[in-house]
A and B are shown apart, each in its own frame.
Chain A
Amino acid sequence: MTVGDWLDRRTGFRRLRDAILDEPIPGGARLAYVFGGVLVAALALEAITGVALMTVYAPSATTAWGSVVHLERAVPGGWLVRGLHHFGAQAMVVTLALHLAQVALYGAYKSPREVTWWLGVALLFATLGFALTGALLPWDANGYWATRVATNLVGAVPLVGPPTQRLLQGGSSFGTLTLTRFYTLHVAVLPALVATLLAAHVALFRRHGVTPPPGADLRRHDRYAPAQLARDALCALAVVAVVFALALRAHGAPLDAPADPATLYPARPAWYFRALFELVERFDGPLAPLVATLLPALATLYLLALPLLDRAPTRALRPRLPLLAPLGAGALAIGVLTAASIVADRRDAQLQKTLALASNRAEAALALAAHGIPLDGPLAMLRRDPETRGAALFERHCANCHRLGNLGPNPERQKAPDLTGWGTREFVLAMLDDPDADGRFGKTPYRGAMPSFVRPPSDPVRAKAWKPLSDDERDAIATFLAAEGDEPYDPSHHAAAAKLVAARCTSCHLFRGRTDDDDALGPELSGWGSVAWIRAQIANPGTKATYREAALADGREGHMPRFDDELDKRDLDLLARWVFRHARGSRLDDSIAGR
């Protein structure tokens, strides 16, 4: 007696095994029948990788993002497992669509298989539920904002919407309790639901068997194993190979910057929700939530009603075409809307710019996370980082008027000097040549306040008295002023040039507190370009440390305001230092240097 015999006598496992493997397949095994088997394999991949991910993932607003970074970076194979889970989910959605199409085309939903079909529809929604809840879990910018859009849509449904939204969110706002609820749905509720539905779905499928196409040779009989099993397993293997390839190519799965409720982000859902997203975008306004819920509701109703509507005994395709038309139309609409949405995004220059900035933020956050994430979370980490905070402060307080590098308004909307290269020798030379160029005073209330020292004034009377600065003099002044911002500062630098500045510039400018004309506008030139100068200018441009009080006069509309009432001392220091470094560090724009 073998071990197998011993076990079989006590468990009867052979009967179960034979029942599974020897299931007859009337009309023979077919590739058309593989989708169910492939889905089971993909689900198993999701379950196995999902359990592995649970050993690292920590669901809370302060830990989720960090745990995913840890998973991708520090856990051997963690990135691969996350990539497989991510792309495996997409493979499931594709295979589900194919499964549904095959069953519809073969008429396999017809009596007596209605309940099998309904269970399948329920499984489709459970799978989409997995996708929706899973997208939030990394708590990164894209997942966070895409999910907020989704829950807001739910909340906009009349009557039942608001309580449902609160139920999903675990309160009236997004936070850790949202995450724990989505996590519970993702790893406990939905898996239990899918396991139950799937067991019933497969049991009913076994009860009624496959649905061969009309005209199949029913005298031919295969058993599930090996004919159909081999087909199922090979196709599943091909799908898993594609999933591996995608995970390897992406080296894991995408991870955005940590979710920041204060930073708007042009969220996009996963591609399979794109059609629905586009629908909401197109029907912007009060109808949006109605469209976003009504159309999917109608589609669901159609799917559920299909086996009841189609009661003719024939499974031939042609007579059923009118009833299947909505399915085809729906598939077409999803395809068109998805493509339209993606194309529209590609053509949206503003969106591409925002996405590029978001991707910079993600890179910065990931770089910082390499040194460990503080216990109060990745947002606190970013807040404490001078580089990230400097950029954020500049964007919030300066970038409406000033450009600097890739930050700031488009050139046509720019109202203040371009700070790219500000403080450098090249900037001073350009200023002496043409102060009213677009990137300098041309679009500011100071236009015309400073003359060129290269070209004569257009007014013939003033042109007569005008004397240009020689190339050598301009060079000396530019070198001197650029060095005024240097750190460390050398007070005795270019003594000769300092005399030149005192002689030629103080008819308008302040220089070391002195000026020939108390009513002129020219700012203080000593220390120009230094961190202290920038700091004083941001805090209050009218203290004589930079400009004079007249610079803040009401008549000079569009002048730079003071920020010392909006920014505390620490932020002022940080922003001044950031502007200093970035203005000098960034490559001088050719258009400034050339003119």
Chain B
Amino acid sequence: MANDRGARSSRREALGRVAFAASGALAVAAVVPAARMVATPALDAKRSAQVWIRVARLDELSDGVPKRVRVVGDVADAWTVSSEEALGAVWLLRDGDEVRALAAACPHLGCSIDRAADGAGFACPCHGSSFDRDGTRRSGPSPRDMDRLPARVVGSGGERVVEVRLVRFRTGLARREALG
């Protein structure tokens, strides 16, 4: 009798383990693929690849005169792609065959930086930050200099064009931190 009860209770224990294992496997099977899928943005920190975007012909720029140009390119969002979208604006400064690009977005809060009224540099119309003609911070609430963007001149002869990479930076920080 006692043996019988012992056998029954060990069978019960074994069944219990089977039930536990099978339920656990079920939970894993249902949750893991779904969780992997949903967690993707947290797991993959990959930054969107920055592309060179053509913004102007070199001969449109004169030495020492900053020119504001629109950056127009394709925008990919999830499965969609829209072409010829206005992505932003940059200031271009030509110095002979070299071109420097400064983001038009103010490092303070992202307003659009204009030329200073005295013509000797840049100024942000929102909160009055002002910058030298090379983008160095002069006064106002901006925590840093204007953001310099990668720029290059490609082509040869009269067909030389200016290309930039439109990197966006976090605003309000003294440190320059690129947004993904």
Q: Which A residues contact B (CB, under 8 angstroms)? A: 41, 44-45, 48-49, 51-52, 55-56, 63, 66-67, 69-70, 74-78, 80-81, 84, 225-227, 229-230, 233-234, 236-237, 240, 244, 369, 371-375
Contact = CB atoms under 8 A, between A and B. Distances in A.
B26 A236 contact: yes
A230 B18 contact: yes
* Shortest 3 CB-CB contacts between residues of A and residues of B: A372-B81, A233-B22, A52-B34
Contacts of B26: 41, 233, 236-237, 240
Which of A74, A76, A240 gathers the greatest number of chain B CB atoms within 10 Å? Answer: A76
Interface stretch (B35-43, B119-127, B138-146, B158-166): B35-43
Contacts of A55: 37-38
B79 A69 contact: yes
17 contacts: A49-B33, A52-B33, A52-B38, A67-B78, A74-B79, A77-B37, A78-B37, A80-B37, A81-B33, A225-B16, A226-B16, A227-B15, A240-B30, A372-B76, A372-B81, A373-B80, A373-B81
Given A74-B79, A372-B76, A375-B82, A233 B23 contact: yes
B1 interface: no
Majority secondary structure, B binding face: helix
Among B23, B34, B44, max chain A CB count under 10 A is at B34
Contact of B33 (A51, A80, A237): A80
Nearest to A29: B15
Given A49-B30, A52-B35, A240-B30, 10 more contacts: A45-B29, A45-B30, A48-B31, A69-B79, A76-B37, A81-B34, A226-B15, A226-B18, A233-B22, A237-B22
Given A74-B79, A240-B29, A48 B34 contact: yes
Given A67-B78, A67-B79, A375-B82, A226 B40 contact: no
Contacts of B19: 225-226, 229-230, 233
A37 to B, nearest CB: 10
A84 B35 CA distance: 13
Contact of B79 (A66, A226, A234, A244): A66
B174 interface: no
A316 B152 CA distance: 88
Given A75-B40, A234-B18, A237-B25, A70 B30 contact: no
A77 B30 contact: no
Contacts of B44: 76
Interface residues of B, number: 28
Interface string B30-66: 1101111110100010000000000000000000000
Contact of B80 (A48, A49, A52, A374): A374
Contacts, number: 99
Contacts of A52: 33-35, 37-38
Contacts of A375: 80, 82
B82 A77 contact: no
A369 B76 CA distance: 12
A63 B29 CA distance: 29
Contacts of B36: 76-77
Interface of B: 12, 15-16, 18-19, 22-23, 25-26, 29-31, 33-38, 40, 44, 74, 76, 78-83
Nearest to B44: A76
A212 B25 CA distance: 29
A559 to B, nearest CB: 44
Contacts of B33: 49, 52, 77, 80-81, 84
Contacts of A234: 18, 22
B22 A230 contact: yes
Nearest to A83: B33
A450 to B, nearest CB: 50
Nearest to A55: B38
Interface centre among B16, B33, B36 (most CB of A within 10 A): B33
Nearest to B83: A374
Contacts of A66: 78-80
A146 B37 CA distance: 29
A66 B36 CA distance: 21
A220 to B, nearest CB: 12
A151 to B, nearest CB: 27
A52 B15 CA distance: 33
A234 B15 CA distance: 11
Contacts of A69: 79
A241 to B, nearest CB: 8
B74 to A, nearest CB: 8
B16 A49 contact: no
Contacts of B23: 229, 233
B16 to A, nearest CB: 4
Nearest to A240: B29
B142 to A, nearest CB: 35
A373 B79 contact: yes
B64 to A, nearest CB: 41
Contacts of B12: 226-227
A81 B36 CA distance: 9
Given A233-B22, A233-B26, A70 B78 contact: yes
Contacts of A244: 29
Nearest to B76: A372
A77 B40 CA distance: 9
A593 B95 CA distance: 68
Contacts of A227: 12, 15
Contacts of B35: 52
Contacts of B83: 374
Contacts of A48: 30-31, 34
A75 B37 contact: yes
A244 B30 CA distance: 10
Contacts of B82: 374-375
A63 B30 CA distance: 27
Nearest to A372: B81
Contacts of B80: 63, 66, 372-375
Contact of A76 (B31, B40, B76, B81): B40
A237 B19 CA distance: 11
B98 to A, nearest CB: 35
A48 B12 CA distance: 31
B81 to A, nearest CB: 3
